[in-house]
Chain A
């Protein structure tokens, strides 16, 4: 008898240990998943943060009238075509008079961005009185200079293994020592289009592209989606046909997104000849993709409206349509809008179908309408992630940060909307 009790005591211990182990497995699974989330987000924040800062080089530029405006008549064609890069380089060389050899001069020039000429031109065109004067201005540094000051190029590495040699690092240190290097918030990153040079590439073009695409997507999918949901929930008799539509919508929700891209390519581009690479086509493809999400969410919110509302409206003589559109649909609207926002957030992060319809091009100009060639934010991320230059890694991360910020805003909006407008029956 005692033997039996001690035996079962031992087994009980084992069973309780099993209980604790099983519970721990669950905890570990959650921790691994959330740990991955934390690791991914923190890596991207850490990588992307430096891209929101940029380095500028302060140079005393002599806006030489002979170079800029040889005729002296301030004619804008002359002002536009003048060699401003030369002015910046001359000023930089003035700081380091020992640099004589052609090769060394080129190395020195590489400290500045290749676009400094345009920056100076913009200053002169905005203010003609600069011509003939000498002024300290702040110009963009090159990608390598940025990498050095952000700590990605270490002076401790052997010279032949880094992108800047000893001379260049010496010059950069001198410039920094003289207070000619400034770090500022990288406004151009948020206000300019794409560029081949990592230090100049911005995301405004991609943001506008995404915005226009979502606009088209919303204009199509929201009305169609909600009306379809209204039909299925309020009107449709339980027929085989309607059952088919329902099954269809559920299956459509699980079709891989790239297949929608193929549909857009074959039908919208090749059959209907709509313009390639445009937000118009992108928005249409994404609308087809988000349609099931919106329909499913809208149906759920229509179902939540109690039948008493419908019965009351019918009872005082409203028609089916009046009941639906005057009473049921407005009450279901918050839920429908929430579904639409979630669908739009999904569309904003979608990349693959846009690759299929050619929104993957290198586009510098900002799109102004839905028929302009454009790219979208996630596609821009994909393009930058593919670029070999080191400077694009931080740009990619920074673009992801911007994308995530937008997604968080949209999801928060959906939550707030639901909390604020939700009606408890």
Chain B
């Protein structure tokens, strides 16, 4: 009788322990949710305070960005202009250049690795490509500013173009190379996931390997590839250090890749480094830009993940 009692007791104690541990585990997995909530709330809160000072329409549609608010109220240009359009075009211009580099390089590398290369070559090349992703972005920024930008300027002036010393092209090229492994490894996965039977059917009809890849494998893999390119674009939009070091500060509304443009991330960094009071429109503007960046990348990610997921279901 007494033994049964002790068993039930210890059983109960065990249950309490189980519950406590389960509670700790749930709390830990909520850390990620809390982080997202924290991001959304802190950005929203500061952005709302910014929009109390600057109209949201001016921010979203204004064509001029010069966040210098005056120290004295009678100074010239005291109000500052907070139109985000030049920043958005700058960001899109640099990201477009980056994707122009990364998409073909990444996709062709992935095709070669998945379809042509021997497994030995794959084992060597894949980690080397991944190294490109492992190198900190500050290194790319330094390299872009030190080597690529002067090279483009010299080459451009030699060819008779007017090239800014901090051109969008230099930052975009460096960023493109950085993103290659992201595109290639994701595309590689999707291409490898295309069932062999499709290839065999194509070969059976007499198609060459290149024809099979172009007309059978790629069309089957296209949703996944699109997803990987969207993910890479979102990465390019949010990239900070390369553009801080290699792109300009002047907010210029242009689509000329040889001009200096600035991006959302560059402006966040310039607005928030250095000393300033926390409540000025200038600092709050950084949070509004941060919110814009967060929403844009989030939408791209959700679409990309959705596309990839839909594609996976097709062949499973």
Contacts and interface: CB of A to CB of B under 8 A. Distances in A.
Contact of B235 (A40, A254, A358, A360): A254
Contacts of B287: 262, 266
A30 B231 CA distance: 21
A254 B297 contact: yes
A378 B138 contact: yes
A34 B33 contact: no
A231 B104 CA distance: 40
A345 interface: yes
Contact of A26 (B42, B109, B290): B109
Interface stretch (B159-167, B194-202, B252-260, B267-275): B267-275
Contacts of A29: 104-109, 112
B136 A227 contact: no
Interface in A229-245: 230-232, 235-236, 244-245
Contacts of B137: 349, 351-352
Given A231-B29, A258-B265, A349-B136, A356 B112 contact: no
Contacts of B104: 29
B234 A351 contact: no
B10 to A, nearest CB: 11
B88 interface: no
A351 B32 contact: no
A71 to B, nearest CB: 45
Interface string B263-289: 001001100110000100000001100
A227 B208 contact: no
Interface string B186-220: 00000000000000000000001111011000000
B101 to A, nearest CB: 9
A257 B177 CA distance: 19
Contact of A270 (B26, B131, B177, B278): B278
Contacts of A19: 208-211
B6 interface: no
B22 interface: yes
Contact of B116 (A26, A47, A325): A26
A321 B22 CA distance: 8
B105 A258 contact: no
A245 B293 contact: no
A251 B36 contact: yes
Contacts of A267: 38, 42
Given A251-B301, A256-B297, A265-B272, A291 B116 contact: no
A328 interface: no
Interface string B98-129: 00000011111101110010000000010011
Interface stretch (A116-124, A307-315, A403-411): A403-411
Interface string A349-367: 1111001101010000000
B147 interface: yes
A169 B142 CA distance: 31
Interface in B290-305: 290, 293-294, 297-298, 301-302, 305
Interface residues of B, number: 86
B136 A350 contact: yes
A26 B108 contact: yes
B141 interface: yes
B71 interface: no
B265 A381 contact: no
A28 B209 contact: no
A255 interface: yes
A263 B146 contact: no
A93 B124 CA distance: 59
Contacts of B237: 256
Contacts of A350: 136
A149 to B, nearest CB: 22
Given A248-B36, A258-B293, A224 B105 contact: no
A171 B265 CA distance: 49
A382 interface: yes
A16 interface: yes
A224 B31 contact: yes
B32 A34 contact: no
B227 to A, nearest CB: 12
B24 interface: yes
B39 A244 contact: no
Given A37-B128, A251-B302, A351-B138, A256 B36 contact: no
A420 interface: no
Contacts of B169: none
A227 B241 contact: no
Interface string A375-396: 0001001100110000001001
B143 interface: yes
B238 A259 contact: yes
A355 B273 contact: yes
A75 B168 CA distance: 61
B78 interface: no
A18 interface: yes
Contacts of B134: 345, 349, 407, 411
Contacts of A262: 39, 42-43, 268, 272, 286-287, 290
Given A263-B38, A396-B142, A227 B238 contact: no
Contact of B18 (A36, A245, A321): A321
Contacts of A195: none
A397 B42 CA distance: 37
Interface in B23-41: 24-26, 28-33, 35-36, 38-39
Contacts of B106: 29
A32 interface: yes
Q: Which 4 A-B pairs have the closest CB atoms?
A: A256-B238, A26-B112, A349-B136, A29-B108
Interface of B: 14, 17-18, 21-22, 24-26, 28-33, 35-36, 38-39, 42-43, 45-46, 104-109, 111-113, 116, 125, 128-129, 131-132, 134-143, 145-147, 177, 180-181, 184, 208-211, 213-214, 231, 234-235, 237-241, 244-245, 265, 268-269, 272-273, 278, 286-287, 290, 293-294, 297-298, 301-302, 305
15 contacts: A18-B208, A23-B210, A29-B109, A30-B125, A40-B139, A244-B33, A254-B235, A256-B240, A258-B240, A262-B39, A267-B42, A348-B136, A349-B138, A385-B141, A385-B142
Given A28-B108, A251-B305, A351-B241, 19 more contacts: A29-B108, A30-B113, A37-B132, A37-B135, A223-B28, A250-B301, A250-B305, A254-B235, A256-B238, A256-B294, A256-B297, A262-B42, A263-B35, A320-B18, A349-B134, A352-B244, A356-B272, A378-B136, A404-B139
